[in-house]
């Protein structure tokens, strides 16, 4: 018989989780999401999976995550002088926290 065996992904180690989140992504749209829906947005590594983003946020900020949505953002066409080029593709994650939880970026930066 020829069939696939689905295995559960290995639990990432703490050194991998610390490198998953690159930076908070703060815009007018994400600020509105923070205020209305308790949703935070982060730039993440391009090879990051949804379960890794969830574990990284819970580890680094000590909060409980309700949902994670991951979006691949394509790079844009740009000119560098006369040379046409492209910016890098990147990935962002929308993280909704459980009720009663919040992230304080200033306190997290002071702790690190």
Query: For 14-74+89-111, CATH number?
Result: 3.30.70.330
Residue 43 has pLDDT above 70, yes or no: yes
Residue 6 has pLDDT above 90, yes or no: no
Instruction: Please state the domain extents for the chain.
Output: 14-74+89-111
8 — pLDDT class (breaks 50, 70, 90)? low
Burial (CB count <10 Å: 0-12, 13-18, 19+), residue 87: exposed
Which of 73, 89, 24, 88 lies closest to 53 in space, CA to CA? 24
């Amino acid at each position: 018989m020829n069939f696939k065996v689905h295995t559960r992904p290995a639990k990432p180690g703490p050194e991998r989780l610390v490198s998953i989140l690159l930076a908070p992504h703060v815009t007018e749209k994400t600020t509105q999401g923070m205020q209305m829906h308790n949703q935070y947005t982060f730039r993440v590594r391009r090879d990051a999976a949804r379960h890794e983003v969830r574990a990284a946020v819970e580890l680094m900020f000590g909060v409980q995550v309700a949902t994670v949505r991951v979006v691949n953002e394509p790079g844009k066409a740009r000119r560098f002088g006369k040379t046409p080029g492209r910016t890098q593709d990147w990935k962002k994650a929308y993280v909704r926290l459980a009720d009663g939880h919040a992230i304080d970026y200033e306190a997290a930066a002071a702790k690190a």
